[in-house]
A and B are shown apart, each in its own frame.
Chain A
Amino acid sequence: MDAVKYVQEQYARENTLPEFRAGDNIIVAYKIVEGDKFRIQEYRGDVLQIKGHGATKTFTVRKISNGIGVERIFPFSSPNIDSIKVLRHGKVRRARLFYLRELVGKKARIREKSKY
């Protein structure tokens, strides 16, 4: 396991991303590479879960796009994440919000945390 740790440390980047948790509403600015140019696309949604640790740590963001639920998994160590903006901290009682998948409309809302 030491070897895995060592290799991950060699690839580790300075963490410039803000802290967020499951239930938070965030905007991920993601670099989309087109040929030799890239543009930045924003993806806004609720964080469903934070999974893993080290270089393979990821987070899942869910949003409703044109009435259809979309989930996207981002690795924390991805060089293609330009920035992350935390819009609001949600008040949730669990770490993995998979129950949101079953809910639509007003029920799928997450209340905002008053104190963070």
Chain B
Amino acid sequence: MTSVFDATGKNVACTIVLAGPCTVTQVKTEETDGYTATQLAFGQRNEKNVTKPMAGHFAKAGITSATEIVEFREFPLVDKVLGDTVTADEVFEAGDKVNVIGTSKGKGFQGVVKRHNFRGVNDATHGQHNRLRSPGSIGAASYPAKVFKGMRMGGQDGNRRVKTMNLEIVRVFPEKNLVLVKGALPGPKGSTVIIQK
């Protein structure tokens, strides 16, 4: 992340995203697939790590490898065909509102205080000595005689798909395919995100 000053002199915290160049690897249509979508591939990987089925799929679009393949329904650039390149400035412009999907930072196995914002036991005295961050009651006793599904407990926190909605595109750098998004995005530095317009 970095921060830039906008036209009114306000300091805006931004995240820099490398958004392209992507290649169209498949165009799905109503007749052949039952719905319309455009499949984009991004990145490069060592060719020995590309499986033969995927290599064949990429060859149709004229590329040898990709790290990410994502399908977009209602893709705005409808005239793009198989093998075309999509750059950041074709899709985004400053002022657009976007949703960004990423995988959040993994926190491991966490208790309820961190994972579900429980308060724990607020007292350290009055008979409490070993339950400062405990979840408290998880239900009644002989009726219902079970713990309800979805009861919030400790467990794996983070490392899941997160969508951050309604972020603003501050600026697009067409020459480097960079997009400046206002605010923070889910996931660690260098991770992959999907930007939906």
Q: Which residues of A contact B (CB under 8 A)?
A: 3-4, 6-8, 10-11, 31, 33, 54-56, 75, 77-80
B160 in contact (CB, < 8 A): no
Contact residues of B: prevailing secondary structure: strand
Q: Chain B, interface size: which category?
A: 10 to 19
B interface residues with partner A (beta carbon < 8 Å): 2-5, 8-9, 11, 14, 16, 18, 173, 176, 178, 180
- Closest residue to A38 on the B side, CB-wise? B9
- Main DSSP-derived SS at the A contact region: helix
In Å, the complex CA distance between A79 and B16 comes to: 21
**CA separation between A55 and B176, bound complex, in Å?**
19
Q: Least Cβ distance of B10 to chain A in Å?
A: 9
CB of A78 within 8 A of CB of B16, answer no
Partner of B173, one of A6, A33, A54, A78: A6
Is there an interface contact between A33 and B8, defined as CB atoms closer than 8 Å? yes
A28 to chain B, nearest CB (A): 15
Given A55-B2, A56-B2, residue A3 in contact with residue B9 (CB < 8 A): no
Distance between Cα atoms of A54 and B3 in the complex (Å): 10
Residue on A with the closest CB to B5?
A79
Between-chain CB contacts (< 8 Å), 30 pairs:
A3-B16, A3-B18, A3-B176, A4-B2, A6-B173, A6-B178, A7-B2, A7-B4, A7-B14, A7-B16, A7-B173, A7-B180, A8-B2, A10-B173, A11-B5, A31-B9, A33-B8, A33-B9, A54-B2, A55-B2, A55-B3, A55-B4, A56-B2, A56-B3, A75-B3, A75-B5, A78-B5, A78-B9, A79-B5, A80-B9
